[in-house]
Amino acid sequence: MGHYKVYYRLTLPSTFPLPSLPLFPSLKLPRFTPGHLRTHHSTNSGRLRPIMAAATSRLGNLVSATSFVAEDGGGGSNGSVNSSIEDDALGGKYQLPPPEIKDIVDAPPLPALSFSPQKDKILFLKRRSLPPLAELARPEEKLAGMRIDGKCNTRSRMSFYIGIGIHQLLPDGTLGPEKEVHGFPDGGKINFVTWSVDGRHLAFSIRVDEEDNSTLRLWVADVETGKARPLFQSPDVYLNAIFDNYVWVDNSSLLVCTIPLSRGDPPKKPLVPSGPKIKSNETKNVVQVPTFQDLLKDEYDEDLFDYYATSQLVLVSLDGTVKEIGPPAVYTSMDPSPDQKYLLISSIHRPYSFVVPCGRFPKRVELWTTDGKFVRELCDLPLAEDIPIAFNSVRKGMRSINWRADKPSILYWAETQDDGDAKVEVSPRDIIYTQPAEPLEGEQPEILHKLDLRYGGISWCDDSLALVYESWYKTRRTRTWVISPGFKDVSPRILFDRSSEDVYSDPGSPMMRRTPSGTYVIAKIKKENDEGTYVLLNGSGATPEGNIPFLDLFDINKGSKERIWQSDKEKYFETVVALMSDHKEGDLHLDQLKLLTSKESKTENTQYYIQSWPDKKACQITNFPHPYPQLASLQKEMIRYLRKDGVQLTATLYLPPGYDPSKDGPLPCLFWSYPGEFKSKDAAGQVRGSPNEFAGIGPTSALLWLARRFAILSGPTIPIIGEGDEEANDRYVEQLVASAEAAVEEVIRRGVAYPGKIAVGGHSYGAFMTANLLAHAPHLFCCGIARSGAYNRTLTPFGFQNEDRTLWEAAGTYVEMSPFMSANKIKKPILLVHGEQDNNSGTLTMQSDRFFNALKGHGALCRLVVLPFESHGYAARESIMHVLWETDRWLQKYCVSNTSDVNAELDACINDVSKEVTDSENKVVATSGRGGPELADFESEEFHPMPRSLL
């Protein structure tokens, strides 16, 4: 079953076309758009899962339980900093940014949407504004790679909804009046909202904060009346939401993870340890892991993890009937079969580990009946501390165990043939197996398909059609196979074989339809008087002019296609979000097609439409107000320019409302970006994004400074290219500087920026970029803002970002890429910001602390702001407002008010920088093993059960 997991999430490199997500979901609206958001979802379509309140992105992607934001990224005056701000800067109080920024961030958030299974009702999930710091300050336990709120036995730092409104979708495409879900406690915070399979009920968890206690309970609401009530009649039953917390088994019952009634008080930490803490490798195992955070430290932590993570599974009916099933255990997922007869139950158990998170703990997968009767054990995987760090490496044994979405109760899974080590050359590399839930005696699993690349999921349709995806990160190769799972005499064939980096050749992903059991399968389309097998391919439509999304009617057998819908490319950016005619049984006919689409422009925020065939009439169903009307007339342009080595680069240039460069002259400029790795110059130069997309502004977005009359160069491409056998990072500094130089030259040429008033900034890997640019290209920027970055790569010795060599294999690259090693060269003002509780595997808070000390030790003009309770992305209103204040103060003082002699500085720096880049390149080549005595061992990044976060 397609299932969003908080704790266990494979981060696949985007190297195969992902099928369209089922229309479950909440549509993400433009209120909180991060500069760099990476979402992850299962490629295996299946039963609906709870919606978890999460930070949202622009539209179109569906709200998932694991969408975590990696934030990067009317006119006010650009007046100089006054003395009161200088005084405030020395204090330790939280500050507020100027009103023109504060008002945008404090604007009421727009709701998220979720459609009923029958597509006749829409939920408006009302979100609260930024949470207070007190929310983050709640006590939490850091265990096994997780952060746990012990008071209500859930993950800490959760986002919540504050209300649910239900609208009827009328036949004419308009919305009926809102009906509020009511009856739950005042101040209750809503999470994990999900529809029953028949759409008649909603289930959701509610957290109620009392004076000395917090509780998390499961509630249900009748969709027709809007009346909500607790599902459990007993007040002593609480949810355990550390992993999965509940799932609909059928229309009238749910399987729920509860806190065992017999559980007592938490274990107490011993005052005197029973012995020393010992780590041993006397067996000489090779264990190379990233710098995971929040791991178990000792036996007490193991006991505490068991205490919070152990659940009792309970089958509960809407009438209140309760039945405990199975023994208490650390259950991590519960997947009912499509025919509602079986449960696929996953759990983890001891021995635990002190070096890897819980996603690598020993894992047991069992098959039960839905009334709790044990059927059989599918696997019991051992502790996986030794997964190689090479990209595409995986865990040994059965993985990705799921139900076929098109069958009542048939399982399928993949097994590696290379022991999970991507460095091993073997054919096949993965084998996909399938087997009934209860096979006949002696019946062995059947081989469904063999793959030479790494398995990446299946989109099911029926016995005649399924699509299998495989990919290989090192070569960026991705392939899509067509198989006929019910016909052994039909040979598999390759449908698409392409480079995942080549966005221009992306054919799109198949659109999915909902089955009566609540799973999702590929939608087959019938065309009048035509016996062909057609599917719908929904594509982003990348072109040299920007993305022009499309919908193709694709003949799966002939490979021919007909474009039946395409976005307006002149003014608007439109996308197909989901099928709306999929709730009816039987074939989907082209002339009866009904789609949910979105539409936006540079200045008009996203609205949603129902579009019906054959006349393709579009009916608007939302009318959301502009989230920041003071910037409604901002100017946006996608610009193109060349790097000195001929690589085509792009960026989005934003200018304030009413600005005219010919009359107003150049502006101070903020350059905000995030580097990316490529295998070819052609792919690096391809245009991504659309000039017509609405400018979503998140709470820490660089675009907020449009309100302060800045020009914003957003997302200028910084491609780091390693063609053939060359490693991209061996020329990182050279390519980084060349990309930045080209971008700066372009904004100066256009007359929108002053040469000496261009600031550079970024978050995470963008902060790493910022520090390197101030070290190696001081002639380009007047100051920098670096948020939550890593600056010393020797502190992440087993790979970082997309570097899969270890420190000992590429010592020169690690050293040359580290701005910490060039701290003595940074002469421009740099503002460092970091969350005190950063749990990202590559960006420990000490990275900023030690970098600041190195800068201060060389007399650099620098400032370090550490945010209490904040993690890798910032959440609390007090923290975010203060970061904006710090950033605005820095820009006003060291960019707007900068009076340095730019021309003299350029002349003095440019020759030194050119020489430095050349020297750096030579040093990297000499020490990375190429041409030297040491042979580089080119591994690839590991497929972590706990994903490697973006650094």
Annotated catalytic sites, by residue? 764, 838, 872
On whether the CB atoms of residues 681 and 647 are closer than 8 A, the answer is yes
Up-side HSE of residue 173: CA atoms within 13 Å toward CB? 18
- Other CB atoms closer than 10 Å to residue 295's CB: what's the count? 20
> Hey, what are 136's tokens?
């983050």
On whether the CB atoms of residues 80 and 897 are closer than 8 A, the answer is yes
What DSSP element (H or E) covers 920? helix 902-927
Nearest to 940 by CA among 455, 293, 497, 288: 288
> Hey, what are 378's tokens?
């599918």
What DSSP element (H or E) covers 309? helix 299-309
Coil, helix or strand at residue 487: coil
> What does the DSSP assignment read for 163-210?
EEEEEEB-TTS-B---EE-B-SPTT-EEEEEEE-TTSSEEEEEEEEE-
On whether the CB atoms of residues 26 and 67 are closer than 8 A, the answer is no
* Cis amide leading into 351 (omega within 30): yes
Cβ-based burial of 555 (10 A; exposed 0-12, middle 13-18, buried ≥19): middle
> What does the DSSP assignment read for 95-132?
----HHHHHHHTSPPPPEEEE-TTSSEEEEEEEPSSPP
On whether the CB atoms of residues 494 and 480 are closer than 8 A, the answer is yes
> In whole angstroms, what is the distance from residue 806 CA to residue 811 CA?
8
* Cis amide leading into 177 (omega within 30): no
- Order across the sheet with 607-612: list the strands: 572-579, 594-601, 607-612, 617-620
Nearest to 38 by CA among 3, 73, 69: 69
What Cα–Cα distance (Å) separates residue 243 from each residue in 9, 213, 310, 432, 452? 12, 21, 10, 27, 33
List of residues 6+ apart from 922 with CB closer than 8 A: none
**Strand pairing of 493-499 and 509-510?**
unpaired
Long-range contacts of 371-380 (CB under 8 A, 24+ apart): 371/315, 371/323, 371/325, 372/313, 372/315, 372/323, 372/324, 372/325, 372/326, 374/326, 375/342, 375/437, 375/438, 376/438, 378/411, 378/413
> In whole angstroms, what is the distance from residue 383 CA to residue 360 CA?
6
801 Rama sector, left if φ>0, alpha if ψ -120 to 50, beta otherwise: left
> Hey, what are 625's tokens?
């107000």
> In whole angstroms, what is the distance from residue 59 CA to residue 105 CA?
19
Rounded to 5°, angle at Cα 41 from 38 and 45: 160
End-to-end CA distance of the chain: give it in Å, rounded: 30
